[in-house]
Amino acid sequence: MKTSSIGSTLALAAIALTLGACVSVTSAPAGAYKVGASQVTLGHEWSDISAIMYQRPAKVRLLSMDGPLLNRLYVTDGLAPGEFMVKPLAKERPTPTYRAGMAPNELVEFVSDSVAALDYQRVETEDLRPAKFAGGDGLRFDLKAKSKEGLDVSGTALVAEKAGKLYVVLYIAPTEHYYAVELPEVETVIGSVKPAA
């Protein structure tokens, strides 16, 4: 009987640990949305899927409307030099890290290489253009890629440096249907970024 009791206790403990390790998707309601010390304004409710994305560093929030395979909105809280948008899966597969004073083309490469680190293939950037960011200058650009399943993916991004930190807003979705559906909302979010003071 004692063996059965110990087995039951161990089974219950294993279940409790498993449930405790579970993470959940939370709501990101319309309005001001905090990303660490930074903030964006959401025009409608999104789902914050940050907790379920294992390659996401703490300074990166990940939002979605329809799930991570259908649309992703990455918002960073000012990456410091040496930090990354995508956690490396192994030491042998490092991901791009931010360096202070990167040239505009290097900032674009930082984002496109980060997208490639998320298993997107043939990442190409286009339409590089100036943007305003918190009273300063930033860069906007669009991108195209393929998912590992071969689906065409489109994206748009804002990158800007302020006070020695890099701020990125990146939207990725399948080109057919999903990208265009949320693009007006994403443009509003990009225009609303308020970096840490």
pLDDT value, residue 19: 39
Report whether 184 contacts 73 (CB < 8 A).
Answer: no
* Neighbour tally for 82: CB within 10 Å: 9
pLDDT tens per residue, range 110-155? 999 999 999 899 999 999 999 998 888 999 999 999 999 999 999 9
pLDDT tens per residue, range 101-118? 999 999 999 999 999 999
> Domain extents for the chain?
24-192
Strand partners for 66: none
State mean pLDDT over 89-103: 87
Q: In the structure, what pLDDT confidence band is assigned to residue 91 with cuts at 50, 70 and 90?
A: confident
Which single residue is written with the structure tokens 């660490």?
36
Rounded to whole angstroms, how far apart are CA atoms 131 and 185? 17
Predicted TM-score of the model (pTM): 0.85
CA-to-CA separations, 89 to 115, 147, 187, in angstroms, rounded: 14, 18, 31
Strand partners for 168: 159
Superfamily in which the 24-192 domain is placed by CATH: Mog1/PsbP, alpha/beta/alpha sandwich (3.40.1000.10)
Residue 55 reports pLDDT greater than 70: yes
